[in-house]
Amino acid sequence: MGKIETKGRITVKLGERQVATGERWSPRYLAHVAGVPKDLVYRLDAGQARYVDLEALARLCDALHCRADEILVWECDGKGKDNGRSE
């Protein structure tokens, strides 16, 4: 069975934003701009979030100008066919 990986994804997106705009945002400032709890941003970036509210994820994506699949990445374990799905 695969899993959803988030570790380091917020840091990468913040870095991409800094390169594109020249503005440096901290995870705390991102949480403020997106209107989500700062603990959520830190847990996502550490790969420790067990639950993510879809509205909060949408607000983060809106603030970062990205898609949800750039933050939440499905990691397959290699078993089965067709991206880990068994037939």
Tell me the per-residue pLDDT of 25-81, one tens digit each, with 9 for 90 and over: 999 999 999 999 999 999 999 999 988 999 999 999 999 999 999 999 888 876 655
Does the pLDDT of residue 1 top 80, yes or no?
no
Contacts of residue 63, Cβ cutoff 8 Å, sequence gap at least 6: 30, 33, 34
Domain 3-75: give its CATH code.
1.10.260.40
Rounded CA gap, 45 and 52, in Å? Answer: 12
Question: So where are the chain's domains?
Answer: 3-75
Rounded CA gap, 66 and 45, in Å? Answer: 15
For residue 87, what pLDDT is reported? 39
Rounded CA gap, 1 and 10, in Å? Answer: 24
**Torsion-angle region of 84 (φ positive above 0: left; ψ -120 to 50: alpha; else: beta):** left
